[in-house]
Amino acid sequence: MGRLVAGYGAATAADAIRARSLPPEFIEQETTGRDRPRGELTARLNAWHARLAASNPAADIENGERAGARLIVPGDAEWPTQLDQLGPSRPLGLWLRGAVDLRFSCLKSVALVGARSATAYGMHTAAEFGVGLGESGWTVVSGGAFGVDSAAHRGALTAGAPTVVVLACGVDICYPSSHDILFAKIRDQGVIVSECPPGTHPTRARFLIRNRLIAALSRGTVVVEAALRSGALNTATHALTLNRHLAAVPGPITSRLSDGCHRLLRERKAVCVTSPEEVIDLVGVMGDDLVSHPRTPAVARDRLNDVTKRVLDAVPTRKGAGPASIAVAAGVDLSVALSALGGLAAAGYIERSAGGWRLRKQATSYRKAPDSAALEPPHIDIDADPSQDPPFPDEDDLVRREHNLPAPDEVPQSSARPARQTNPNNTQLHQGTL
Amino acid sequence: MGRLVAGYGAATAADAIRARSLPPEFIEQETTGRDRPRGELTARLNAWHARLAASNPAADIENGERAGARLIVPGDAEWPTQLDQLGPSRPLGLWLRGAVDLRFSCLKSVALVGARSATAYGMHTAAEFGVGLGESGWTVVSGGAFGVDSAAHRGALTAGAPTVVVLACGVDICYPSSHDILFAKIRDQGVIVSECPPGTHPTRARFLIRNRLIAALSRGTVVVEAALRSGALNTATHALTLNRHLAAVPGPITSRLSDGCHRLLRERKAVCVTSPEEVIDLVGVMGDDLVSHPRTPAVARDRLNDVTKRVLDAVPTRKGAGPASIAVAAGVDLSVALSALGGLAAAGYIERSAGGWRLRKQATSYRKAPDSAALEPPHIDIDADPSQDPPFPDEDDLVRREHNLPAPDEVPQSSARPARQTNPNNTQLHQGTL
């Protein structure tokens, strides 16, 4: 049907079906060209004929107008041209009901899809993503169903952003019926879309057909939560077929409702996203919508250079040690160790004791001691490239506790020991609220 | 040092360091060949010299023997040759303490690594993976730390499988000390490994150096739970560098302790794994260790062919309809509709009413009615290729509820309506325990 209308126009196609007589070139193209038995085409024609005879376009238009809906067709100003990519399965027309312009709203749009029987985690995630995308100027497209769909729409509405619902029934029908208030809100702030004429009820097949529109309207599809057998995965397949972006939100492996997402990730069909920013990074315009990569938490130690860190690690906790044995433990030359020890002492990391150098129990953290500026490391060790794994492991914490190392200045204040006696810069003023 | 020992043997290397006189070809190769300032090499030599002078190999051997440890070097029968891939950073020797053979245990081994401050979810996952891998004949390699490490070891022990701990301290030292019982159990059933001589205490640097051994001993590394700044990510980097498999377990995006895993997935460095079987599928021998792909749940409807399903969807629930209007609604030829309706009636899906065909309220499910064998579809619609997305979405359930469609026979018995009156095959016998 799509090819018939594309080749001969809707009016000619309707006439041909009414007359049960397809254009000969079309028959040639469909049978010989596609190696399709002629009987199959005849059976299709009969089915189209019966359906056309049963239809009542004038009543559809009248019902649509009564419901406040408008009908758009390809070529109209409001027609979203990204649907052209559907080829012969592009819808012949769309019924719209709502305040905003469909084409304009979908210029920057993302589909958020997922399970109806979503968990609290899935609902939370969908709502957070809806808010985040909405606040960043992105339109959320979804199916208006229970669960993930509704949470995503509500999130977008909360952000004051337009949102698009694609229904599997007429735009005058509220399915599920308990979403009447949600749909009314969406009509005010977004738009409700369907390719079914007003009065059409949802069927299983229409949900599946509808899913291609959700994928085709948006720049990318995010599967928020889906079981292995889920309509959301059908939408995901459409997104892949259309070469649109596909992302999935991971969840606990103990939740069957994340199994579908994990399968998409495992098969590397979808990109793992954990925040709306990462979604925008994926679907956005290169350079315009880049997400800032999450920085690993920084600790004062990071600003020391490699050799100085090795020397610091070799300084004992309680009983002091001489520079020579520290140099051996650190595996560095004695002159290097002496220089590093001087710097570490100036920065307040270590102190002299009767037995030699030892860690200072309640040392000022590096950043808070302006007099240690001379220790400014020649080489900043913190990763400039955030795609690299962090050079320092969480062994840090354990070793620090074991060895009574100074806590980094980024740790929560509650776990930092106040350093009234030994702090030369009165930094306890900053901790006065403890 | 690795290159020196590899080129000249350990004894010659020790002599050269003791004499502070490196072989001229080695100096040439390290300075000119690697474009490295000669002063740097001299500083290194001085550091090695000082360390060698401070060492006491005879005491190390004696202490090791007292602790029941054995020392292996490359070429020994128990030496795991996969360590050779480390090149110059291959350990010069390994101290072992435990009942099992290291080389044999690590032939089929997987590293399970993760956060010390693991969540209950991470601990549960690590233990489950440890049990699952152990039961399948795989050895779990980890670092013996709090959190994920210990849960993984305990899981493997529970499965009666050997497990390998790689320590950052001497094998005679119990760090963390509260793991004394765990380590004793591992010595009985597995082996404790360290490249540090007995008596060596853990330092930050030794943890990082240790991590390369965990990655190099195993066929693949699984990051169970890790924050963005985590030692587990350091092990993951080693696994990637060595071209070993890398996998990550997803978790809730609301948990900071899954951020590291999600970053590995997002950057497509790691494969998403949700079960021990998927881990084995990744690291196992091709063909030997294939995991069976999770099947999507099957429902009776799946066995109907496409056209029959479309006709079934077009049959109304309460008020009956004639074959012609059903054919129009289904979009099929009348003769096709008639044939499908006959089959559906025989299978108990639909029944005749005064108004025509309608859905049978409490139809027997397809599989349980042997008399419907004639309806055996010519084309099984269930996906033969499980990598394909399922053809039917979870709209199924909703539509079924809406239309009172028969429940599939795979749904939990508790939600299936008993069908005493209409069931022709006494299948309620199977439900007798309800």
Write out pLDDT tens, residues B331-356: 888 888 999 999 999 888 899 888 89
Quick one: average pLDDT of B189-206?
93
CA neighbours closer than 13 Å in the CB half-sphere of residue A190: 30
Q: What's the Rg (C-alpha) of chain A?
A: 32
- CB contact A308 to B (< 8 Å): no
B425 has pLDDT over 70: no
Q: CB–CB of A233 and B268 under 8 A?
A: no
Residue B274: list chain A partners with CB under 8 A.
Answer: 253, 259, 262, 266
Is pLDDT above 60 for A248?
yes
Give A92-135 pLDDT, tens digit per residue. 999 999 999 999 999 999 999 999 999 999 999 999 999 999 99
pLDDT of residue A296: 57
Question: Between residues A296 and B176, which one has the greater pLDDT?
Answer: B176
Q: Give the one of B168, B249, B253 whose C-beta lies nearest to A253's C-beta.
A: B249
The average pLDDT across A21-32 equals: 92
Residues of A with Cβ-Cβ distance to B115 under 8 angstroms: 394
The first and second tokens of residue A39, run together, are: 């009987």
Burial label for B204, CB within 10 Å (0-12, 13-18, 19+), is buried
A408-429 tens-digit pLDDT: 443 333 433 333 333 334 333 3
A140 band by pLDDT with thresholds 50, 70 and 90: very high
Sign of the C-alpha dihedral computed for residues A366, A369, A374 and A378 taken in this order: positive
C-alpha–C-alpha distance, residues B313 and B325, integer Å: 13
Chain-chain contact of A274 with B253 (C-beta, under 8 angstroms): yes
Higher pLDDT, B292 or A322: A322
pLDDT for res A316:
87
- Chain A, window 105-134: residues with a beta carbon less than 8 angstroms from a chain B beta carbon: 115-117, 121, 124-125
Instruction: Provide the 8-state DSSP code for A256.
Output: G
**Separation of alpha carbons A299 and A397, rounded Å:** 11
Supply the pLDDT for residue B291: 61
Given a cut of 70, whether residue B75 has pLDDT beyond it is yes
For the four alpha carbons of B24, B27, B33 and B39, in that order, the dihedral sign comes to negative
> Peptide bond preceding B162: is omega within 30 degrees of 0, i.e. cis?
no
3-class secondary-structure state, position B230: coil
Please state the ipTM of this predicted complex: 0.75
Q: Please give the order of strands across the beta sheet that includes A271-272.
A: A70-72, A94-98, A191-194, A163-166, A139-142, A109-114, A220-225, A245-248, A271-272
B209-228 mean pLDDT: 97
How does residue B404 score in pLDDT terms, banded at 50, 70 and 90? very low
pLDDT of the residue at A293 = 60
Given a contact cutoff of 8 angstroms between Cβ atoms, the answer to whether A265 and A241 are in contact is: no
Closest CA to B239 of B377, B342, B85, B415: B85
Of residues B54, B296, B324, nearest to A228 (C-beta): B296
Which among A271, A275, A313 is the nearest to B205, CB-wise? A313
The whole-number average pLDDT for the span A341-351 is 90
**Are B325 and A387 an interchain contact pair (Cβ–Cβ within 8 Å)?**
no
By the 8 A CB rule, do B238 and B83 touch? no
**pLDDT at residue A376 is higher than 60:** no
Tokens coding B80: 């795991």
> How far is the CA of A246 from the CAs of A154, A268, B235, in angstroms?
22, 10, 29
Token pair recorded at residue A58: 């004038």
The model's confidence at residue A294, banded by pLDDT at 50, 70 and 90, is: low
Rg of chain B in Å (alpha carbons): 32
Residue reference for tokens 């254009």: A23
Q: Name the residue facing A204 among B176, B389, B395 (closest C-beta).
A: B395
pLDDT the model gives residue A298: 64
Confidence of residue A289 (pLDDT cuts 50, 70, 90): low
* More confident: A307 or B260: B260
pLDDT reading at A160 higher than 80: yes
pLDDT band at residue B286, thresholds of 50, 70 and 90? low
The answer to which of A289-298, B152-161, B299-308 has the lowest mean pLDDT is A289-298
- Over 70: is that where the pLDDT of A76 sits? yes
Dihedral pair phi/psi, residue A342, rounded to 5°: -60, -45
> Is pLDDT at B299 greater than 80 in this prediction?
no
Which residues numbered 40-99 in A keep a CB inside 8 Å of some CB on B? 43-44, 46-48, 50-51, 53-54
Is residue A285 very low, low, confident or very high in pLDDT (cuts 50, 70, 90)?
A: confident
pLDDT over 60 (residue B406) = no
Q: Quick one: pLDDT at residue A221?
A: 98
pLDDT at A300: 72
Contact B230 A394 (CB under 8 A): yes
Looking at every residue in chain B, the average pLDDT score rounds to 84
| pLDDT, averaged across chain A | 84
pLDDT in tens, A217-231: 999 999 999 999 899
Length of chain A: 434
Place of tokens 């939100």: A249
Instruction: In whole angstroms, give the CA distance from residue B270 to residue B251.
Output: 14
Tokens representing B212 are: 């390369």
| Predicted pLDDT of residue B306 | 85
Q: What is the nearest CA distance from A43 to chain B, expressed in angstroms?
A: 5
Helix (H) or strand (E) segment spanning residue A41: helix A38-54
Helices B395-403 and A204-217 cross at an angle (nearest 10°) of 140
For residue A348, pLDDT beyond 70: yes
Cβ–Cβ gap A393/B228 under 8 Å: no
Q: Tokens 């849960």 — which residue?
A: B151
B188 burial type by CB count under 10 A (0-12 exposed, 13-18 middle, 19+ buried): exposed
Interval B73-91 mean pLDDT: 96
Q: Where are the alpha helices (DSSP H) in B242-346?
A: 259-266, 276-283, 306-314, 323-330, 334-346
- Count of CB pairs separated by less than 8 Å, A with B: 225
Residue A261 binned pLDDT confidence (cut-offs 50, 70, 90): very high
Confidence of residue A401 (pLDDT cuts 50, 70, 90): very low
Chain A within 8 Å of B193 (Cβ-Cβ)? no
Segment among A58-62, A378-382, B62-66 with least mean pLDDT: A378-382
Partner-chain contact B253 A275, CB within 8 Å: yes
Query: What percentage of chain A exceeds 70 in pLDDT?
Result: 80
pLDDT value of residue B33: 82
* Averaged pLDDT, B148-175: 97
Apex A381 CA angle, A379 and A387, nearest 5: 130
DSSP string, B374-426: GG--SS--S-SSTTSPPSS-THHHHHHHHHTPPPPTTS-GGGSPP-TTT-TT-
Nearest of A101, A97, A128, A100 to residue A112 by alpha carbon: A128
Mean pLDDT across the stretch B408-433? Answer: 38
Buried/exposed B342-378: b ≥16 CB within 10 Å, e otherwise? ebbbebbbbbeeeebbbbbebbbbbebbeebeebebe
User: B268: alpha, beta or left, given left = phi > 0 and alpha = psi -120 to 50?
Assistant: left
Answer positive or negative: Cα dihedral of B22, B26, B27, B30.
negative
Chain A contact set for B48 (CB, 8 A): 331
Instruction: State the burial class of residue A327 (Cβ atoms within 10 Å of its Cβ: 0-12, 13-18, 19+).
Output: buried
What are the structural domains, with CATH classification, of chain B?
Answer: 2-55 (no CATH), 63-283 (3.40.50.450), 300-431 (1.10.10.10)
Rounded to the nearest 10°, the torsion over CA B119, B122, B123, B129 is 180
Residues 6+ apart with CB under 8 A from A233: A223, A226, A260, A264, B389, B390, B393
Nearest to A394 among B231, B294, B327 (CB): B231
Q: What is the pLDDT of residue B361?
A: 74
Mean pLDDT of B201-219: 94
Alpha-carbon distance of B414 to B409, in angstroms, equals 11
**Tens-place pLDDT, residues B375-393:** 433 343 333 343 433 333 3
SS (H, E, C) B153-210: HHHHHHCCCCEEEECCCCCCCCCCHHHHHHHHHHHHHCEEEECCCCCCCCCHHHHHHH
Strands B350-353 and A94-98: unpaired
All residues at 6 or more sequence positions from A27 whose CB lies less than 8 Å from its CB, including other chains: A38, A41
Pick the residue with more confidence: B120 or B360?
Answer: B120
Pairing between β-strand B350-353 and β-strand B356-359 as defined by DSSP bridges: antiparallel
Contact B395 A208 (CB under 8 A): yes
List all residues of chain B from 351 to 410 with a beta carbon under 8 Å from chain A. Answer: 387, 389-399, 402
Inter-chain CB proximity B271 and A266 less than 8 Å: yes
Residue A395: pLDDT over 60: no
Q: How confident is the model at residue A71 (pLDDT cuts 50, 70, 90)?
A: very high
pLDDT value of residue B170: 96
